[in-house]
Amino acid sequence: MIATKIGNSTYFEENGNAFHVTILKVDDCHVTEVKTKEKNGYNSIQLASIDTNKDINKVNKPNRKNFSKINLSPKKILKEFRVDNENPYKEGEVIQVNHFKKDQFVDISGITIGKGFAGVMKRHNFGGLRASHGVSISHRSHGSTGQNQDPGRVFKGKKMAGRMGGKNITKQNLKVIDVDDLNKLLIIKGSIPGKKNSIVFIKDSVKKVVSQWKKI
């Protein structure tokens, strides 16, 4: 499902235990398209969420057709999710935050916070060079990166300075602490990628599968 990261907080249990949680706002997700293995080669659904003021005539034709088919105003985010062979959803159906259950495990994908250009000590946790005795203005450098005359090049994937963050990653096996149907909020144990008000995508865990509810 599609969600917005609201922020972080501390959750207190009845026995006094406290731990870090992330709060997500899960607006209603509308099923705009259903793909089947017989017709498309795989099973999936396309979800649309988060209201926008975008004019319907400025939406590209494939998405405009999907919106018009179910009489839905344009949405900000469209995302396709793979589903099991037994697809329980139909076009026009609305999936709400109560799809998720307390104590369920989920996988959440998002874009990490960008850190800009970073050196190897920050980016890869290098120890740096010596602080004295012959080291001159290169204390935080990575040292030698090359080889001998053969092969005479730097191998691909070598840990070096460069752009840090801003990558799409997935955190797995995150526990759902609570579900607030009234305010459409989802309380997740631990941290998730992305900054405040960023868009994240939630799926049922692939490693800790629970069969009581429909999988997305």
| Long-range CB contact pairs, 61-68, < 8 A, 24+ | 63/32, 66/32, 66/33, 67/32
Q: Which token pair is 128?
A: 């740096």
Give the closest residue to 214 by CA, choosing from 107, 101, 127, 57: 101
pLDDT of residue 133: 84
Ordered by where they begin, the domains of the chain are: 2-115+167-204 (2.40.30.10), 116-164 (no CATH)
Give the count of beta carbons closer than 10 Å to the beta carbon of residue 71: 7
More confident residue, 19 or 212: 19
The per-residue pLDDT for range 101-151, each reduced to its tens digit, is 998 999 999 999 999 999 999 999 999 998 888 888 899 999 888 888 888
Average confidence (pLDDT) over 31-56: 87
More confident residue, 171 or 68: 171
Q: What is the pTM of this model?
A: 0.84
Q: Binning pLDDT at 50, 70 and 90, where does residue 89 land?
A: confident
Q: Any idea what the Cα angle at residue 216 is, between residues 96 and 170, rounded to 5°?
A: 105
Give the count of beta carbons closer than 10 Å to the beta carbon of residue 204: 21
Question: Could you give the CA distance from residue 48 to residue 32 in angstroms, rounded to a whole number?
Answer: 7
**At 179, which amino acid appears?**
V
Residue 215 DSSP code? -
Question: Could you give the CA distance from residue 73 to residue 33 in angstroms, rounded to a whole number?
Answer: 15
pLDDT of residue 216: 52
